[in-house]
């Protein structure tokens, strides 16, 4: 014969089990904390300034964390692009941002979009008076790129002989080579170009866009082995941020009329 105490314990056990089924568990939420988050120095989308991560991607990520009910800030590492991209392809819980969503990458990763729509261009000094009328004209100039960046990949796909691409781990060496006349143009995101130039000690007014290499959307990219439920919730939070107007507020903080090159 069962005692009243045993019956009460069994009833409590059933109640606890039902609660666990009805609502997300702490363990389920903690899966977000298991993600390995990485970014690169690519202002204004994501960058590291005075010991703090900043940028459009960072602001979006912080809001996603809040909506998930996580009180501590996301742990993020800053990697050179080539290493970050390698880790994205090989580490099961890896998330990289911001990544251009282009056809050649579509099936390699899972995506949460948008961060921003991007236009990858070639920048030249106005004083150089470079005019590009066709793809063939590009072969007459040396172009500085960031290794494994989408701008570099796009150039490699359209140039017959990519001997004139000078690849570096960041944009700063390319600007230094441009000052010496060894690089004629650099490939970069149009929206972020002014801030990048200013951060590197250059006057954006001295530069102009001379060619559009590619258009794409930049997103959060997940390794294919990340738990699908995590990706689904991440996408839902991001979509809610876009729909409730917070997304536009973030863009307005970073992009203004003076951000755009002619």
Domain boundaries along the sequence of the chain: 28-117+217-259, 119-215
The rounded radius of gyration (Å) of the Cα atoms in the chain is 23
Question: Is the pLDDT at 21 greater than 60, yes or no?
Answer: no
- Give pLDDT, residue 148: 81
Q: Which residues contact 219 (CB under 8 A, 6 or more apart)?
A: 97, 98, 99, 101, 111, 112, 113, 114, 115
- Please give the class, per CATH, of domain 28-117+217-259: alpha beta
The pTM of the whole model exceeds 0.85: no
For residue range 171-202, what is the model confidence (pLDDT) as tens digits?
A: 999 999 999 999 999 999 888 888 889 989 99
Q: Which range, of 41-55, 119-133, 218-232, averages the lowest pLDDT?
A: 41-55
Q: What is the mean pLDDT of residues 2-9?
A: 46
CATH fold match for the domains 28-117+217-259 and 119-215: yes
Q: What is the mean pLDDT of residues 227-238?
A: 97
- Give pLDDT, residue 211: 96
For residue range 25-75, what is the model confidence (pLDDT) as tens digits?
A: 444 454 899 999 999 988 889 998 889 999 999 999 999 999 999 998 899
- Give pLDDT, residue 256: 62
Long-range own/partner contacts, residues 131-140 (CB < 8 A, 24 or more apart): 131/210, 132/210, 132/211, 135/159, 138/164, 138/211, 139/164
Phi, psi dihedrals of residue 36, rounded to the nearest 5°: -95, 105
Fold topology of 119-215 = D-Maltodextrin-Binding Protein; domain 2 (3.40.190)
What pLDDT band is residue 109 in, cutting at 50, 70 and 90? very high
Contact between residue 93 and residue 225 where contact means Cβ atoms under 8 Å apart: yes
For residue range 137-176, what is the model confidence (pLDDT) as tens digits?
A: 998 999 999 988 888 888 888 887 777 999 998 899 999 9
More confident residue, 260 or 213: 213
- Give pLDDT, residue 214: 86
| Residue 167: C-alpha distances to residues 125, 145, 177, 186 (Å) | 19, 5, 11, 10
- Give pLDDT, residue 25: 46
Question: Is the pLDDT at 8 greater than 50, yes or no?
Answer: no
Percentage of residues in the chain with pLDDT exceeding 70? 86
Contact between residue 216 and residue 182 where contact means Cβ atoms under 8 Å apart: no
């Amino acid at each position: 014969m069962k005692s009243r105490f045993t019956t009460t314990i069994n009833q409590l056990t059933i109640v606890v089990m039902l609660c666990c089924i009805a609502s997300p568990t702490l363990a389920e939420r903690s899966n977000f904390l298991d993600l390995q988050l990485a970014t690169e120095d690519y202002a204004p989308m994501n960058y590291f300034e005075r010991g703090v991560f900043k940028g459009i991607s960072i602001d979006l990520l912080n809001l996603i964390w809040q909506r998930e009910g996580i009180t501590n800030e996301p742990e993020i590492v800053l990697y050179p692009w080539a290493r970050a991209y390698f880790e994205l392809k090989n580490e099961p819980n890896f998330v990289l941002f911001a990544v251009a969503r282009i056809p050649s990458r579509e099936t390699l990763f899972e995506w949460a979009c948008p961060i921003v729509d991007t236009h990858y261009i070639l920048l030249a000094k106005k004083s150089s008076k470079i005019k590009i009328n066709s793809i063939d004209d590009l072969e007459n100039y040396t172009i500085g790129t960031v290794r494994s960046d989408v701008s570099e990949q796009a150039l490699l796909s359209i140039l017959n002989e990519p001997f004139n691409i000078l690849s570096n781990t960041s944009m700063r060496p390319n600007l230094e080579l441009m000052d010496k006349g060894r690089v004629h143009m650099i490939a970069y995101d149009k929206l972020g170009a002014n801030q990048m130039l200013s951060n590197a000690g250059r006057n954006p007014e001295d530069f102009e866009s001379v060619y559009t290499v590619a258009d794409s959307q930049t997103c959060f990219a997940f390794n294919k082995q990340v738990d699908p439920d995590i990706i689904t919730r991440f996408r839902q939070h991001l979509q809610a941020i876009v729909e409730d107007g917070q997304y536009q507020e973030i863009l307005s903080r970073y992009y203004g009329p003076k951000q755009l090159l002619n």
